[in-house]
Each structure stands twice: as C-alpha cells, then as structure tokens.
Structure 1
Amino acid sequence: MSPGGVVLVLVPVFCCLLYGNCLPATLPGLDGTILGPETFKGVTNFSTFHLDRPSGTLFLGARDAILAVDTKNLNKQPKKIVWEVPEEKRTSCLAKGKTEEDCRNYIRLLEFLENGQLYVCGTYAFDPQCVFLEPSSFTLEKTKNGGVKMETGKGKCPFEPSQHYTAVMADGILYTAATSNFLGTVFDISRATGPEQERIRTEQSLSWLSDPKFVSSSFIKQPVDNNPTGDDDKIYFFFTETAKEYDLYTKVKVPRVARVCKSDVGGMKTLQRRWTTFLKAQLVCEDKPSGQRYNVLIDVFTTQHIPGDPSSTHFYGLFTSQWEPEDVSAVCVFSLSDISKVMDGPFKELKKSFENWNNPDPVPTPRPGQCLNNALKADGFESSLKLPDKVLTFVRDHPLMENSVTAAPLLVRKGIRYTKLAVNLKGSAEEQQAAVLHLGTDRGELHQVAVVGQNTTLLQEIPLFSSTEPVNNIILHQGRALVGSPLSVARVQTQGCALYPSCEVCARARGLGCVWSSEHKTCQLSEADPGPGDVIDNALKKCGAHERRCNPSTRDLKVFIGLRILLPCVQLSPRPCSWEYPLHRHTRQHNSDLEVTVTEDNLGRYVCTCQEGGPNVREPTPCLRAAYHLILEDPSVEGWVESTKGRHVLAVYILFFFMGLLLGACLFYFVYWRKRGAIPGLRRPDNSLSSEKGRELLGSTATPQSPSSASLLSDGFRLTEKRNGTTTSTTTTTLLSNHGNGGHHGNSYSGSLNNSNPSNGLYANCNTSSGELKLSSEILAANRLDGSMGVVVRPEG
C-alpha cells in the first residue's frame, strides 16, 4: 500500500477511536447509552430538544433536519425530516454578506399546539419560517399544490443560529423573547401567535430591554379551583442585560426576571400593541460573607416544591461572573413568592437629574403593571384597554423595580463552566427537602451534586461526549436524564441508590436516603432517619474507610527537585478554601487547587481546608478536603513510564505505528532510488566528486525527532492564561484527579483536537485537519504520582 493509502486508512480509524463514535457507546453501571454522529448519519448542530412525555419520543431540532428519537428503544433508527433552504434563497443570503454555514436552516423552536401538531420554526437562511408537523405520521403539513405549508417566523424564531432565544407555549399561544430584525439589533418579548390584534410586544426603549441575552422562560398557570382573588396567569422571562441604572464607565451586566400577564392586550392610546404589565427586577446571586457576586445568568430550571401548587414554584439559576478571570459557576434558587413581593414593591426612578435630590413620580391608581383580578374587574377595568393613560405612562417610564430578588449560592465551582442545569427534588414538602443538581459542562460531562440542608456533596462526574461538545440540553424523564450536545444524545440513569457502586460512594448519598448493605454489597434505599450531625461522615465511618469527608487520609507523593505538580482540592460550597504548607514562594493557587514547584525547602505536608455550611450560615465549619505529603525520590531515572488506559492511548499507539510504517516507506523510497542512481527531482552529482557522492542527498537531512511516545499517553489539556484580553497557552497539564469528597470519578478526555467551527459555534462530524500533538513542560496531577502506581518521571530538559 502506498503512503497515501496508509494515511487514508489511518485517519478514519484514528478519528473513530479518539472520539469513540464508531458504535453506540454504553456507560457501564449507569444504565446509559450514547448516540453519536454515526447514528444520526450526518445530521448535526442539535440546538432544540422537546420531549413528548406520554409517548417517550424526543424531537430534535438540528441543521436542515428534524429528528424523532424513541427513548424507549434507542437502538431503533431515528426518524428524519429534511427541511432545507432552496438554492436561490441561500444565494440571496450569501449576497447579503452572511457565511455559507449561517445560510442554512437551523431549527430553533419545537412546541406542541393544542391540536396535537408540533409547531416547528427555523432560521431559514436569515428569513425565519415555521411549519406544522404531524407527530403520528412524522410528516410536514402540505399545501394544496403539494409544497410544504410555511408561515413567517419573524418574532417567533431568531434570524441567526447563534442568537440567544427562549420561547414558551401558554394555553396554545406562543410567547417568545428574540431578535426581530435581520441585523439582530432589535429585541422583543412578544405574544407571537393568536389573534392578530392581540399580538403585542415590548416598547423599543433601552429602559425596557438593553442588549439582552435571553436564557429561559416559564408559564405559571393559576389553578381554577384555588384562585380566590381571580389573579391572572403569568409568563416569566429570564435574561442578562446591560444595566442602565448604574452610572459607571464599565458596562455592568445584570441578571433579570421579567413578568407579563396572559390577558394583557395593550393600551388604547398609550402603549398600543405594547405590554401594559411588563415589569422586571434584578436577580442577585451573592455570597455576602465574601462579597462575591455572580452576575451573568446561564440557565434557569423551574420546578414546584409541592406538586400541583404553583405558589411553591422555585427557579434554580445557573450563574457565572463577569469579573472573574477564570471559569466559575454558581447555583442560586429564587422562590416565586420572593419575586412577587419585589414586583409588588416600589418602582425604581430611572430619570437622570443633576440636582441633589429628586422626587419620584407618584404611583397612580390602579397600580401600574399589575395583572387583572377580581378587584380590578369590579372597579370597571375588565381589560387593559380600559386603563387610564396616566397608569400606562407610568409603567412605560418605570419598568424596573427598586428592590432586587436576592439569594445566596447553594453551590460554587471554580475552574469549571457549567452550561445547563436540571433539578430533582427528594423528600416531602413538609420535611427538609434535598435536591440533586444535574449539571452539564462545556467539556461534555454530566455532574451530579446533592444539596441536603447546609451541605453540598459532589456525587459523581460522568464523561459523556468529547471535550469539544458542550452539553446544551438536559431533560429529566422517568428517572433518567436525556442529555444533548450539538452532535450527540445520551441517556443516563439519575435516580436510585443502585447508581452508587461502593460503600464510600453510597455514603456520600446518605442525605438522599441511601444506605450501604454489607450483606448484599449494594447501595439501597432506606427510610431510616440518618440522625443528627454530619450524616455523610457518619456513613463513611460505617464503611470502615480511612477516608472521611472532613478527615481525608494523607497521600504520599514521590517527587523530585524541579518537578511541578498540581494538588487538587474540590470546593463546592461558596466559602473559600485555604492551604497549609511549608512556607515557600514556589507555590501558586489555581482556584482551590495548589500548584507546587518542588524544592528542598517545600517538601512536607500540604493540607487543604474548605469552609462548609449553607447559604445562611454566618459561621461555617472548617472541613479538611485534601492532605498530601511530598517525599523526595531519586531523580536519576531515565524515561517516563506511566500506566494509562483507555481508547485514547490505543489511538495514539496506532497512530505512531502507522507513522513508523509511513516513515519506513519513505526511507525505502529514497534508498531504492539512490541505488538506481537517480532520484526524481534531484540532479545527478558530478562524477568528478565521486568521493562526495550522495552527500547532498542524505548527509544534510536529519531524521525528524518526534516526542517520546510515552509522554503523549497522558490525557492533557493546555493551561491558559489571560493577559490583556488575550489567551496564551503556557504549558500542557495532566489535571485528572479524583474530585469530590474523596470519591472516584471517571476521567474526561481533554484533547487538542477540535471539531468545531470557532467562528460561529457550528459543528461538523469529525475534523482531522489538525494532527498536531504537543507536550511542553510538565505539571502532574497528584493522583498520577501515587507510589503504588509506579510512576517514574524525568525532569524537563
């Protein structure tokens, strides 16, 4: 076989092994299945999930296609409808300056109508269109002449595939928050369907919406049999926008919650075809003891703490920070009752004044922005069209509330960026409830975190997709989580104590009612009261393990002078972590982890202590999270031997094997033509220089030196550093550690191959254009230096 043929065979094999997408993968012990790109046969860029819970059919909105996956039988081939943009439409889009990838049809909306049809909207080459899908036959509704029946999607679907967008269906009427023009500069929260005269939207004013990034929306329906005041149903929208109330040089981002009422039809003269009930308030997710505030909203999950009671609704918000130089994620929970109190409170005065004081406008009667109820109807205000102009003028000029909806974080993770959130509640409403947070990361992982009382515990970290596939959808259904990325779909078991395979892991779930059975060697559900105190530590004691949640065993690490290592310490609570170690300047803290450059002066014991406690605890208790002992080892060993496993290692071995074959073929080629006396492309040397014959051929050409194959066998990713807004790669790290209260977690691959388009976030199946693998100075994780693992390290240079 020619060298080119070898490469053609090698590329798909290596791509397949590296990404694990050759066959549908199964997650051992988790009742999980992963459907990769090979299952969907070229369909990519999944952005929208919608589950038909009675039938268990998962509808996927992708690029130029709509898919239907049977979640009860994942081995069944998904159904597919192709909905592409005509060539002339795409040409027109390109002529307007858009890219080839953007001028496709990205499905951004999937919602059921009251007649059972699925309402589907796509970007359609920057001209949004909507169609009607019949789920039973999985076909699009046709016109009389046989074409697809379409209607405009402007105001219902964004123009661009990467624009932030949210929509919710309320009693068959669609409410959306999206851009409403080609340039993406006009933002609207609108009633997008229904009678034409009732399709209303927000006022085009920066005081209403200021460059918002829409995140989520929720419909709260009042129960018919338990609504004595006759209060109207409400729709809530969550987004991040640029604050206008702060007079600062820096653009400050603030998270908001906005509310509109379902029966609002606009005003008669003022606010015609505009919301008369639009009010918004600031969400504050802040740890008051440290003063750290998380001001960028990423996702919101809505749930009822008491099923069937809308007043018990809580919104779990996923946040990050505008001010943090590194990745940070936090989770705060806000109650509907707290939001309602703020909406019923004082209005913020946004008028600018150079005087020392300013009298706010008096609040007229009836109260501006309130929803219709029995009291308003009794006063003659049966519709928003009958509200007086002074009320409408006030609410037009005062959309923002004075008070904020505040909460303290349940969870804080530094060094990790979460992208999606879903929540399971445990226990009855009367007793203290526990919550299990299912968090998707930007590296294709699913993390499960238990929040019980004042303690937050990391249960497990599950690697699902490649490190370039962020989790963008999580749907909880029948004890499982349906997790999506732009290229793949996974089903993971999320409920049941049988998920936890060992006594130590089961002990971390004691607050969820799990108990380890020594007789059956399984983790089982128990109704027994866990008792007072630290239930996790008590459960760990029953396991007979030396490792405690707040009393970890010390790990001996064999090191040598000049080695750089990273000592992990997992921080879950919003309280900070601190290190105790021999005083020396060759240390640097990365979030809660500690980087150490080994010298003779800093050998010894390293202990990490984190502050535990709930959001409202003023004096949290210290909890030891990690302990290490650095021991000097003989540094004169030649080579680097490390025990590594997994398909990535196999892929690297195969790669070097074929590279060796290719190099051998090239050498054979040169030797053969040298013996023949002529090499194509080179001039035959002069016979008078017979003693120097061939010197120009091979004498000046050194064999390319490749890095040690053993050094490429560790899963690594680049440690980046941001300076002046520029991200600079500084070193290659192997930061794979057993995070989470002493528990074991699967290692996630963090490679340097990227199969995404960084310009617009659009994904393809596999990109093998870059085969570059590099290794620079070493930073080794502590769990790779355990003496029992037989790790021997050679210093750099």
Structure 2
Amino acid sequence: MAIKCNFYELCCLLISITLVVRAWTPDITPKLINPKTEKLPVFFGNTTDYFKILDQDDNTILIGARNNIYNLSSTDLRERERIEWISSDADRELCALKGKTEQDCQNYIRVFARLDDKRIMICGTNSYKPRCRTYTNFHGAAQDDRTFEESEAQGRCAYNPTHNSTYVFTDGQLYSATVADFSSADPLIYREPQRTEQYDLKQLNQPDFVSAMEMNGYVLFFFREIAMEYMNCGKAIYSRIARVCKNDKGGPYGFADRWTSFLKARLNCSMPGEYPFYFDEIQATSKIIESLYQDRRSSIIYAVFTTSINAIPGSAVCAFSTDEIVEAFEGPFKVQKNSTSVWLPLSVDNLPEPRPGRCVDDSRTLPSSVASFIKTHSLMENAVPAMYGRPLFTSVSFKYRLTAVTVDPQVITKDGSAFDVAFVGTDDGRVIKFINVPPTNHSPEASNDVETVVISEIQILDNMPVRELTVAGNLIVVGDGYIKAIPLHHCSQIVTCVECIDIQDPYCAWNIQNHECGPLPSITNPRTLDDFIQNITSPEHGRRECEKNGDSGNRIDQRYSVSQPARGTLSAVAQRPLNYPMVKSREPGNDGNLLENTITHHLVNDANDLQLANTSLNWFWLIALPLMVTFLAIGIVIGRLLTKRACKNSPFAEHRNELTSSRPLNSRTSGKDTNLLMNVGPRNNKRDNLENEFVVGDKDRSHECKNSTENLEKVVHCKTTGTLTKVKSTYI
C-alpha cells in the first residue's frame, strides 16, 4: 500500500509541475541564438576585481576595480589611463585584525564624481575603512605627480565591495545610499549633512540599494527591502522607489540633519489577474529614457525584477513612467496606528500644512509637525503601476535569472518609427535583446496588446553573472572578472531577405542592391532608404516586398542553417578558435608582484551543436515527459479497473477466486505460480508468454494455448483458457 501511495504522490507531483511549467512557459522564442561574431574586444582582470561602471562618455568608460580605476576605450576596451590607489599597510593590518580575509582587505573603488573641469573625487572601501580622494590637475599628469587630498567616506562609500550600494552626483552634491557602519546595521540615504532616520525600520528596513538618479528637482533611489506593512502577515520583500528634494536643507530644531522630504512608494511589477503575481525584488534599472508613449513624449525607466530566491524562478522587465511616479507621491499616505494594527490610508484631513514631502524654498522654516510627520509617515498608499499594466518582458527559467538592463533609446526605423531596444543580462552570462511594439489602439481594453519581440540571446560571459550593461557605441558587458564589448546588432548573420525582415531588429534592413542584411544608413537623406526593406510592426508586408524584389529565397552562400520563419528562431553553430590573439601589459599588484592585465579579442560563442539542439527541445521535454508519465499512470489505473470488472462478470467465478486468492494452490498447479495476470509478456514478443502448463482435471491442455494470437481467437473449452481469453482481449 505504501508503494501505491508513493506512486500516486509522484503522479500528482508531476501533474503539478506540468501545470506550473505550462502556466509559466514564455510564448516568445529568441529569433537569433548565439550568432557567429567577429573577434570581440575583452578586458581581463581578476575574478575578485568586482568591476563597476563609474562614468562614461562617447569614447571612454571608467571602470572601478580592486586598487585601480581604468579608463578604457569604449570601442576596443584598450586601457588609456589608470589611477592606482592601494590601502596603506596600517589599514590592511587593522582590516585583518577585524577578521577579514586578504581579499577583503583591498581598496575597491566604488564612487567617482567629476567636481569640475580640473578636479575629480573617487571613493573606495579602503580595507573596510572607506576613504575619498580629491585629485587636482589629474588629466595629463603622471601617477607620481598627481596631487590629492584624502577624507573620510563614511556614509558615502560601502565597506564591502559586494554590498548593494548606489550614488548619484548632481549639482555639486553627492547623494549616496549605502551603510554607515562596519556591520552594515545602519543603512542610510545620505547627502551631507542630511540622512534618513537611524535604526528606524519604517524608513529603511534592511534595504538592498539598486540605483539612483536625478529627476526634476528630486533625487530618486530604487531599492528592495523587507516590507513593514506586511510584517503582521509574515515576511515579504517589496521593491521601492524613494525620493528626496535636492534643495532639502533639513528641518527645524532637532531635525537639522534629517530629511524633511523623504518619501517612498512600492513599485508594482506583476502579472495582472484576479490574484496578481508579483515580481517583488528589483535588481537593476536603466537610466531615465526619453521615449514616445501613447503618441506623446514621456520619461521612462526600465527595471528588472525577480521572484524570491526560493520561489518559482521568474524574472520580468517593467517600465515606469515618471508621471506615474509623481502621481503616486501625490496620493494618500499609509499609516499604522500601533504595532498590532493594519496599515490603512490616512485621511487628507489629517495632513499637516504644507503637504509633507513637497519641495519648499527653505525646509528649515517648516513647522515641526511636518518634520515629525515625515519621520513616522514616509510610506505612500498607492504603488507605482507598470506601463501597459504588466511586464514588457517575462522569463521563466531554471537556468538563469535577469540581473541587469540597459536601453538604446528611440532607434529610428525606415518608416520614421522609433523603438527602445532593451538589453538584459542574466546570472549565467547571457545577454537578451528585445523590443516592444506598442498597440495602435490606446484604449484601456488594448493596454495588454503590446507585443514583445525577443530578437537575440547570446552567451557572452562564461560561468559569470552579468553585473552591468551600458551602451557606448558597442554594448559593454561587465562581469566580476572581465569585460566584453559586443556589437549592438548582428545583421550580417542574416543571409536572406525574409529572415532579415522576420527578425524585427530596428538596426537591420535588407539592401536590395547588395542583397545583404545590414544597418540602415543615415536618415538625413530619405532617398538612400529606397534601396532598403524594413518593416518592424508588420513583417508580412516586408515579406511581400522581398518577394516583389526576388529576394525571398535562400542564398547560395548561406553560412549556417536557420530555422523556418514560422518558427521565428535563427540558430548558428558557434566555434571557438584554438588560439586567442592577445596583447599583454603589466600591472603592479597589491603585494608588489606584477599581475598580467590582458586585453584580447576573440570569439564569444560557447554554444555547440548539442547545446543548440537542446535549446530547442528543453521546453518540449519538460512538458511532454510529465504528461507521458501521467497518461501512463491513468492507463494503469483504468486497466486495473477494467480487469476487475471483466473478472467480476466472468462465468468462471470460482477460477477467478482461485487465481486472485492468497491461498496456496492445489496439487493441480504442480507448485507453479499460475497467476497469469502477473505473467503477461511484452506485446512485441511473438510468443506471448502463455506457454505455462495449464492442467484441467488430469489432462494437459498447454499445447492448445501455445500461440497467443492464434489460440486466443479459438474457443478452448476449459475454464483457464476462458479467463485468459478475456484478459488478453482486455489488454489488446
């Protein structure tokens, strides 16, 4: 009985997994998977460098690392310049005495600010004793000739390089979100001298800060934290957006070093329905993007969310309009009367004047009632909704979760339309590229009709999460130990006109004259666009144009096999060269030894034929296998029921009882097991295992039952063969 229960429990578990997978299976397949690429520039470091993007312009990108800042070319990642800053021996010894490892007791550069044309400021962990340096006349000076001033960086820079901290430098002020102590027990949002309340869980409750940015006189902070409003029901993590006024100078009396404008609201990234499914944990955001939304210009922020680490492995990308953010902060406040009460919206009549959280000319003149209100009522009632009411991109995979996002905004296509091209990274080193085609009808009923087009999925980093992404001519992919630059598009990998149209990449168009897929030329001369075919919103029209120009078929020089357009997936077999061309430079390490800093260019694609085949079959077997097992179990149960019913109606009831009884068989069986229900052989056997000795009375009738196919059709006038005939008929 225990075996049966375990078997049925297993069947129920498989059915549940099947239903969950079916409900969460994305209906979007990348159209280009691991395409072949030219030699890609790579900047190598150590796996413990914890690279971090600090700043960038059109030609260069600044990378914070262990004991160094690297100034790299954004095109080939060649090192142009560096700042070296190693912790002093005393600081390293003190760090070791605190119980930290040698790897921890290094100086990881986490903050960079350009103070003016001649001065820059950098801050580092400095062996768990954060410090800042201000350099004067930095550009063009040799390492030994650079002058600087040092200062404490408590509240500006994290102690631990892996701590989730963020900052933004605007209007000559550094706004940071980090921790203020060695044990990370005092999180804060800080701009000297203002900070959030110390050890106040209603303002910050074990936050993980993600990003910060300036917007219209405010500074926005994105983070996730343990939700205080949910504490009476359990423990949950919510995503937040907080804001402070840039002109906040503190409050009166005892609030001189406290924010008078700190407010926070929940970010709602969820699948809609009667019971919405929330992606609660924000992981990364893009910068503020000026985009076209519902035929008007809007400022939009893209953000990556995931489920909890012990929940269904789901990730999503949601977009938020700054107008919706402002509206949420103008809504009602959420309040809890006491520690056992539920959180409810606060009546407008109970608000002090002027409205708490709004920017005023001089916050020091505010009534003390406003400053006290902000201290205890910083949470807003309304959450910030996602655009279109749902995620723009969802991914459910047991292999990876999304970790980073960046956007190349408003890429112009041939017909003048503009699309935000989003790139998202994963924790196993992939980069996924997608766009969203908005609905033409902007009515509320059509809000969910936005179409997500996943253009490509490429394995970039090997066994390393993508920490950051940014667009700087190329797509810069940052991991802990090395950085890669990849092209924004792979148009040259497409070899037919129809495939060039079906990929729906705003960068790619088919050149009628050259018969190749490539980027569009400059839009300044519209006549040059007549030689190109491109249609992002309606690929069907583009295919008809291909057929009209005779470019719909496959070309002879096709370099790799591609799937049919109906399947929407292009696949390529990636090959890795045996030897990588390298250019090596020497770099002083922390212990005085020379470490190799290798800048190389090589192919990225690690996929092989087997991996590509598995990619297309993973979801099929994940769904098909549980269904097959389930149907098999149901078939066994039905078979047993039919067998019992057949035996019940059998005229030879006494023989049925003899076969199913646990009593020892009589002498006629010669001591052999004659329970033929347990000895039915495989169906593909020519002999159906029916050659057991059947004795009726004193006569051996086994020769009449030798061939199952033949003898079961005959009427054998004995009780044994009569029962066998019914059993065989049931199983056939």
Q: Place the TM-score, normalised by the shorter chain, in its bin.
A: 0.5 to 0.7
Q: Which residue of 1 aligns with 2:140?
A: 137
- Map residues 441-460 of structure 1 onto 2, 5 A cutoff: 441-453=426-438, 454-460=450-456
1:680-726, Cα deviation, whole Å (9 max, x unpaired): xxxxxxxxxxxxxxxxxxxxxxxxxxxxxxxxxxxxxxxxxxxxxxx
Kept after mapping to 2: 8 A contact 1:48/1:110: no
Quickly say closer, same or farther: Cα 1:168–1:202, change in 2 above 3 A: farther
Kept after mapping to 2: 8 A contact 1:449/1:459: yes
Is 1:255 aligned with 2:239?
yes
Kept after mapping to 2: 8 A contact 1:43/1:65: no
Q: Secondary structure at the match of 2:335?
A: coil
Q: Which residue of 2 aligns with 1:426?
A: 410
Q: Which moved more, 1:480-489 or 1:321-330?
A: 321-330
Kept after mapping to 1: 8 A contact 2:345/2:381: no
Quickly say closer, same or farther: Cα 1:492–1:203, change in 2 above 3 A: same
Quickly say closer, same or farther: Cα 1:462–1:393, change in 2 above 3 A: same
CA distance in 2, matches of 1:428, 1:302: 19
Residue 584 of structure 1: CA displacement? 4.7
- Map residues 106-505 of structure 1 onto 2, 5 A cutoff: 106-133=108-135, 134-137=137-140, 149-192=149-192, 198-221=193-216, 233-248=217-232, 250-289=234-273, 291-306=276-291, 312-322=298-308, 325-352=311-338, 360=346, 362-372=350-360, 382-407=361-386, 408-415=390-397, 416-426=400-410, 433-453=418-438, 454-466=450-462, 468-477=463-472, 479-494=473-488, 500=494, 502-503=496-497, 505=499
What are structure 2's unaligned runs of at least 5 residues? 1-33, 439-449, 521-525, 547-551, 555-561, 572-612, 636-732
1:337-373, Cα deviation, whole Å (9 max, x unpaired): 000001001000133376899894701111011112x
Kept after mapping to 2: 8 A contact 1:253/1:295: yes
Residue 53 of structure 1: CA displacement? 1.3
Quickly say closer, same or farther: Cα 1:125–1:531, change in 2 above 3 A: closer
Residue 535 of structure 1: CA displacement? 2.1
Residue 499 of structure 1: CA displacement? 6.8
Residue 59 of structure 1: CA displacement? 1.7
Kept after mapping to 2: 8 A contact 1:108/1:157: yes
* Residue of structure 2 aligned with 1:47, choices 42, 48, 51: 51
CA distance in 1, matches of 2:167, 2:384: 23
CA distance in 1, matches of 2:112, 2:627: 58
CA distance in 2, matches of 1:567, 1:72: 31
CA distance in 1, matches of 2:341, 2:90: 59
CA distance in 1, matches of 2:56, 2:202: 38
Residue 204 of structure 1: CA displacement? 3.7
Quickly say closer, same or farther: Cα 1:489–1:387, change in 2 above 3 A: same
CA distance in 1, matches of 2:344, 2:112: 48
Kept after mapping to 2: 8 A contact 1:164/1:213: yes
Amino acid at match of 1:335: S
Q: Which moved more, 1:508-517 or 1:148-157?
A: 508-517
CA distance in 1, matches of 2:86, 2:253: 43
Residue 506 of structure 1: CA displacement? 2.1
Q: Which residue of 1 aligns with 2:601?
A: none
Is 1:62 aligned with 2:65?
yes
Residue 428 of structure 1: CA displacement? 6.9
TM superposition score normalised by structure 2: 0.63
Q: Which residue of 1 aligns with 2:41?
A: 34
Q: Which residue of 2 aligns with 1:88?
A: 90
Residue 462 of structure 1: CA displacement? 2.5
Q: Which moved more, 1:327-336 or 1:286-295?
A: 286-295
Kept after mapping to 2: 8 A contact 1:419/1:439: yes
Residue 322 of structure 1: CA displacement? 1.3
Kept after mapping to 2: 8 A contact 1:33/1:491: yes
Q: Secondary structure at the match of 2:351?
A: coil
Q: Which residue of 2 aligns with 1:777?
A: none
Quickly say closer, same or farther: Cα 1:91–1:394, change in 2 above 3 A: same
Amino acid at match of 2:61: L
CA distance in 2, matches of 1:180, 1:186: 6
Quickly say closer, same or farther: Cα 1:140–1:369, change in 2 above 3 A: farther
Kept after mapping to 1: 8 A contact 2:291/2:420: no
CA distance in 1, matches of 2:542, 2:405: 28
What are structure 1's unaligned runs of at least 5 residues? 1-26, 193-197, 222-232, 373-381, 556-564, 572-576, 589-595, 600-797
Amino acid at match of 1:291: P
CA distance in 1, matches of 2:104, 2:451: 46
Kept after mapping to 1: 8 A contact 2:505/2:536: no
Q: Secondary structure at the match of 1:93?
A: helix
Kept after mapping to 1: 8 A contact 2:71/2:79: no
Residue 507 of structure 1: CA displacement? 2.3
Quickly say closer, same or farther: Cα 1:301–1:486, change in 2 above 3 A: same
Quickly say closer, same or farther: Cα 1:32–1:113, change in 2 above 3 A: farther
Quickly say closer, same or farther: Cα 1:513–1:91, change in 2 above 3 A: closer
CA distance in 1, matches of 2:341, 2:55: 56
Q: Secondary structure at the match of 1:90?
A: helix
Residue 518 of structure 1: CA displacement? 5.4
Amino acid at match of 2:124: G
Amino acid at match of 2:515: K
Q: Secondary structure at the match of 1:63?
A: coil
Q: Which moved more, 1:526-535 or 1:340-349?
A: 526-535
Quickly say closer, same or farther: Cα 1:279–1:505, change in 2 above 3 A: farther
1:193-237, Cα deviation, whole Å (9 max, x unpaired): xxxxx544445411100100000011114xxxxxxxxxxx11000
Residue 533 of structure 1: CA displacement? 10
Query: Percent of pairs identical after alignment?
Result: 27
Residue 68 of structure 1: CA displacement? 1.7
Kept after mapping to 2: 8 A contact 1:70/1:78: yes
* Residue of structure 2 aligned with 1:586, choices 615, 629, 651: 629
CA distance in 1, matches of 2:536, 2:345: 53
CA distance in 2, matches of 1:35, 1:69: 11
Q: Secondary structure at the match of 1:109?
A: strand
Kept after mapping to 2: 8 A contact 1:132/1:141: no
1:286-313, Cα deviation, whole Å (9 max, x unpaired): 1113732100000011233259xx9832
CA distance in 1, matches of 2:119, 2:470: 21
CA distance in 1, matches of 2:170, 2:95: 33
Q: Secondary structure at the match of 1:302?
A: coil
CA distance in 2, matches of 1:551, 1:499: 18
Amino acid at match of 2:69: I
Structure number, greater radius of gyration: 2
Residue 80 of structure 1: CA displacement? 3.4
Kept after mapping to 2: 8 A contact 1:444/1:463: yes
Q: Which residue of 2 aligns with 1:606?
A: none
Quickly say closer, same or farther: Cα 1:236–1:493, change in 2 above 3 A: same
CA distance in 1, matches of 2:252, 2:57: 42
CA distance in 2, matches of 1:431, 1:208: 46
Amino acid at match of 1:215: V
Kept after mapping to 2: 8 A contact 1:141/1:149: no
Is 1:535 aligned with 2:542?
no
TM superposition score normalised by structure 1: 0.58
Amino acid at match of 1:364: P
Quickly say closer, same or farther: Cα 1:584–1:47, change in 2 above 3 A: closer
Quickly say closer, same or farther: Cα 1:167–1:346, change in 2 above 3 A: same
